[in-house]
Amino acid sequence: MSETPVSPAERLAGEIRACRLCAQRFAATATAHEPRPVVWFRPSARILIAGQAPGLRVHEAGRPFADPSGTRLRAWLGMDEATFYDRDRVAVVPMAFCFPGYDARGADLPPPPICAQSWHARVMAALPDLRLRVLVGGHALDWHIGAKGVTQTVARWREVMASGAPLTIPLPHPSWRNTAWLKRHPWFETELVPVLQAEVRRALEAE
């Protein structure tokens, strides 16, 4: 019996899951954890969720945004869990596939640049059918569109959307730490979020 051929995207996902480039780096963090890349994409995806890096809960669960930040993000997107975790429709590609660990103060370490340098060009090439990019937080904004400053970039979201294909929408990180930011910028939820939800629906419905 012949084996089912493995697609290039599946081979790439397997390579990323096997990556141990940061093993020594992670062993030296306060959590002293091993790499566990959280890989969530298939070539048929219509929507890209580009985030920062998995947190500890995501590291333990093995799936992206499996935490309160994910609950808030899905509310912004107007997307239920079943749709969000459907890899045939939604790709979740953070700037680092592994939990980077905590520093001595217990704060999340930034995503190691070597991850994006090693994998992201290949991952983007493996996603030819994207209709919408949702860029979550400063690291994703910087890598994907070269934007510095989350507040300034999200504030000019209409300009970012008009800048070309695939359609791109910038977001702050949905962490609870940004609750005060949301209160200071009520336009985000009254103006941007309804447009985001409409574009999510349009991308999912596209043939």
Q: Which CATH superfamily is domain 8-205 in?
A: Uracil-DNA glycosylase-like domain (3.40.470.10)
Other beta carbons within 10 angstroms of residue 55's beta carbon come to 21
Secondary structure class of 55 (helix, strand, coil): coil
Residue ranges per structural domain of the chain? 8-205
Would you state the structure tokens that stand for residue 196, as one six-digit string? 């985001």
CB 86 within 8 A of CB 47: no
Nearest to residue 175, comparing CAs of 85, 87, 53, 92?
53
One-letter amino acid at 62 equals: G
Q: What is the pTM of this model?
A: 0.94
Nearest to residue 85, comparing CAs of 69, 70, 97, 100?
70
Task: Give the pLDDT of the chain (207 residues) as one tens digit per residue.
Answer: 456 677 888 899 999 999 999 999 999 998 899 999 999 999 999 999 999 999 999 999 999 999 999 999 999 999 999 999 999 999 999 999 999 999 888 888 999 999 999 999 999 999 999 999 999 999 999 999 999 899 999 999 999 999 988 999 999 999 988 999 999 999 999 999 999 999 999 999 975
